């Protein structure tokens, strides 16, 4: 046989085999090949009801986890919901689930038909998750959608709305369970009633040790009037909402579960409403929720470049924005309110990594991060006193009171650079807002207490005429306990000098001890190689867990008085950036992106920007993993999600705060990558002014007043 003929027959046989394989695959798999790419800048889409990652919705006060079912249950089990500040024994604990919803035909539950069309869409512009599906119970089906909203307009409010089209006539039962309460919660009481075809429950809880009292008020109703009664189980202490409704084939029905969570409340708010007023309230709340999100996005980062870059920025900002709210006294745990990883504790993650991503466009939201440190100052003072030091010692892991809650025996308890990270964050807030009254009443007490701590914490090395800081863990946690971490010593020195600067601006005399310790602080430096030394005893073959000495360049922006820092920065960066573990935490590459941009290396700055998000996204909803590792899942890691935003604002767009300039100098020195035609930051806010910053090729910067 001729070779070309044989090749043709082989190709035909391969094609036929491929067709057979495709025909044998389940419909849910074969359909995925027809779906468009998920590169919309505002809407993230899943076509897989078995999506293993799901998403989380929140408003900075309450939250809920949602998987492929589109509601607060997964594989028949309730998914956790959380509330900011709900700590017991210093650990964040979940509330009872309020976002659950089930459909029943008698005793048979309707389940998602995975062979039918399915789509789940996360609208980031409006903060709404919609699941389009077919639910099946035997031969009966419901086709429609479920929307979940966690209100940005009302802190304790959430709504699950199901719109379905039945293919049968008869009865449909809607059921919403709350699940069992956490072991740290005491259930005070639970009552239910039915008024004007609304099934309602009010449940009150109290934490065992902190004594936080809150209520979960829930109501179930239909937009249409064909109500057929409610189950007596409602009025028992099970807190199950259950309503039975008449349905007709081909006629749309809409059901809503509305929730309000109130702290220190008697929980009676929903009980007096009739169905009409409740529906009007829900509709108004959802409209207000959409408006709040639209207003938040007026402060946008607009990339004229690859669609995936734009989507990544919106995804990262979306998860960050829904984890904080104006007026809150709570900071942001590394995973926000998506789970209880790290016990929901607050780390340097909030102050050094998340805060800068918010402060330039959302200072009113960023404020909760600095206010948390002021509110927990008594706990930090108690930590210092317990360890024999003056001032305040901020905990490496803190919760309700600010007391140290890092698990005993772990060296991270000695990660004392946290004090300086807290102080720098306080100062950045003051620089960005120019709020002198805030500095006097809230910022300065923190700066003073942390500076006093360093004075008592340093050791005087008499033979070397310098102050040293011994037995600390640096940002590179693989190093364990070491002496004289360059990062720690530098940020301690900065902390002291910022306290001095703050005192002067408030018309007070700085402490002479602050000046003395700052002026004589030992900064590890290698003069022969013109670079900083990470810590005493550093070995050249050391593999760091994460960026350490590189952070001296950014975000610390540390300068040696009278020295040209160009070569020192480059030598430090080139040396240490090659010695970091490839599967380290996500924020490494975003810092590298900013540093490269400030060196003028736009190619590397862009490469590091892409690396700051691409290896970490999981699933169709861009859930941000803590590490690039494919075997390690710890999500939703907001510390890392803040990285691409920092990379864009402070690197590629070139924003730079001068920490010690009079008046709080803000400058722009962009590094526009060739992959982007332009970059625009809208609604930048600085010291009472709001403006837009546009950057085009050639690093041309245009600053103009915002229309906001």
User: Catalytic residue positions?
Assistant: 477
Cα distance between residue 360 and residue 373, in whole Å: 20
Q: Closest Cα to residue 86, out of 99, 76, 96, 71?
A: 96
Q: What is the CA radius of gyration of the chain?
A: 28
DSSP state for residue 411 in the 8-state scheme: G
Cα distance between residue 391 and residue 620, in whole Å: 47
Cα distance between residue 61 and residue 222, in whole Å: 27
Q: Look-up: residue for tokens 């050094």?
A: 352
Confirm if 82 and 95 have CB atoms less than 8 A apart.
yes
Cα distance between residue 629 and residue 632, in whole Å: 5
Q: Closest Cα to residue 447, out of 506, 405, 382?
A: 506
Cα distance between residue 585 and residue 654, in whole Å: 24
Confirm if 199 and 273 have CB atoms less than 8 A apart.
no
DSSP state for residue 633 in the 8-state scheme: -
Q: Which helix (H) or strand (E) holds 302?
A: strand 301-304
> Is the peptide bond prior to 555 cis by the omega test (within 30 degrees of 0)?
yes
Can you read off the two tokens belonging to residue 411?
């060296």
Confirm if 532 and 489 have CB atoms less than 8 A apart.
no
Q: Which helix (H) or strand (E) holds 569?
A: helix 565-576
> Is the alpha carbon torsion for 79, 81, 82, 88 positive or negative?
negative
263: Cβ contacts below 8 Å, ≥ 6 apart = 156, 212, 213, 214
The alpha helices in 223-354, defined as continuous H runs, are 275-296, 307-321, 348
Burial 483-504 (b: 16+ CB within 10 A, else e): bbbbbbbbbbbbbbbbbbbbbe
CA distances, 510 to each of 441, 501, 524, 554, 559 (Å): 17, 8, 26, 27, 22
Confirm if 451 and 511 have CB atoms less than 8 A apart.
yes
């Amino acid at each position: 046989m001729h070779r070309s003929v044989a090749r043709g027959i082989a190709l035909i046989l391969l094609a036929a085999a491929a067709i057979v394989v495709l025909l044998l695959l389940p419909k849910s798999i074969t359909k995925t090949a027809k779906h468009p790419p998920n590169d919309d800048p505002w809407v993230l889409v899943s076509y897989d009801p078995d999506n293993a990652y799901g998403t989380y919705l929140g408003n900075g006060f309450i939250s809920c986890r949602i998987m492929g079912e589109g509601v607060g249950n997964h594989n028949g089990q309730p998914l956790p919901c959380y509330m900011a500040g709900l700590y017991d024994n210093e650990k964040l604990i979940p509330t009872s689930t309020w976002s659950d919803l089930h459909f029943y035909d008698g005793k048979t539950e309707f389940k998602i038909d995975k062979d039918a069309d399915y789509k789940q869409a996360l609208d980031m512009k409006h903060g709404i998750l919609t699941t389009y599906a077919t639910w099946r119970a035997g031969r009966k089906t419901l086709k429609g959608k479920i929307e979940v909203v966690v209100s940005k307009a009302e802190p304790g409010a959430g709504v699950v709305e199901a719109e379905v089209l039945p293919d049968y006539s008869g009865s449909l039962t809607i059921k919403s369970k709350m699940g069992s309460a956490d072991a740290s919660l005491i259930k005070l009481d639970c009552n239910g009633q039915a008024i004007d075809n609304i099934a309602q429950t009010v449940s009150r809880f109290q934490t065992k040790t902190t004594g936080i009292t809150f209520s979960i008020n829930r109501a179930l109703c239909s937009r249409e009037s064909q109500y057929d009664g409610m189950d007596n189980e409602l009025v028992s202490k099970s807190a199950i909402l259950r309503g039975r409704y008449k349905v007709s084939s081909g006629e749309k029905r809409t059901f809503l579960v509305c929730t309000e969570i109130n702290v220190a409340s008697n929980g009676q708010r929903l009980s007096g409403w009739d169905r009409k007023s409740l529906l009007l309230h829900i509709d108004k709340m959802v409209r207000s929720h959409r408006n709040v999100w639209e207003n938040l996005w007026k402060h946008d980062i607009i990339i004229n470049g690859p669609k995936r870059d734009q989507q990544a920025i919106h995804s990262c900002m979306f998860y960050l924005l829904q984890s904080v709210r104006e007026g809150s006294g709570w900071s942001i745990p590394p995973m926000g309110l998506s789970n209880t990883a790290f016990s929901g504790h607050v780390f340097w993650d909030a102050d050094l990594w998340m805060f800068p991503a918010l402060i330039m466009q959302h200072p009113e939201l960023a404020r909760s991060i600095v206010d948390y440190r002021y509110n927990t100052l008594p706990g930090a003072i108690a930590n210092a006193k317990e360890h024999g030091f003056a001032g305040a010692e901020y905990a490496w892991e803190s919760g309700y009171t600010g007391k140290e809650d890092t698990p005993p025996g772990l060296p991270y308890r000695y990660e004392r650079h946290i004090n300086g990270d807290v102080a720098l964050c306080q100062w950045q807030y003051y620089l960005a807002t120019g709020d002198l009254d805030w500095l006097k009443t809230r910022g300065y007490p923190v700066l003073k207490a942390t500076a006093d701590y360093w004075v008592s914490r340093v050791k005087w090395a008499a033979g070397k005429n310098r102050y040293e800081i011994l037995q600390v863990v640096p940002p590179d946690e693989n190093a364990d306990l070491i002496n004289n971490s360059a990062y720690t010593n530098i940020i301690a020195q900065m902390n002291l000098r910022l306290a001095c600067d703050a005192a002067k601006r408030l018309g007070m005399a700085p402490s002479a001890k602050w000046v003395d310790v700052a002026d004589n602080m030992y900064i590890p430096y290698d003069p022969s190689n013109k670079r900083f030394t990470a810590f005493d005893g550093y070995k050249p073959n050391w593999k760091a867990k994460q960026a350490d000495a590189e952070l001296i360049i950014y975000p610390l922006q540390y300068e040696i008085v009278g020295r040209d820092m160009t070569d020192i920065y480059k030598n430090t960066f080139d040396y240490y950036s090659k010695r970091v573990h490839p599967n380290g935490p996500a924020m490494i590459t975003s810092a590298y992106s900013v540093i490269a941009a400030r060196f003028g290396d736009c190619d590397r700055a862009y490469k590091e920007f892409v690396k700051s998000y691409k290896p970490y996204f999981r699933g169709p909803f861009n859930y941000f993993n803590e590490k690039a590792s494919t075997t390690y899942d710890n999500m939703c890691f907001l510390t890392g999600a803040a990285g691409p935003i920092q990379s864009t604002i402070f690197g590629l767009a070139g924003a730079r705060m001068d920490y010690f300039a009079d008046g709080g100098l803000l400058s722009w020195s962009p590094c526009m990558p060739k992959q982007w035609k332009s970059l625009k930051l809208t609604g930048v806010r600085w010291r009472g002014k709001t403006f837009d910053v546009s950057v085009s090729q050639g690093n041309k910067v245009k600053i103009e007043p915002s229309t906001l």
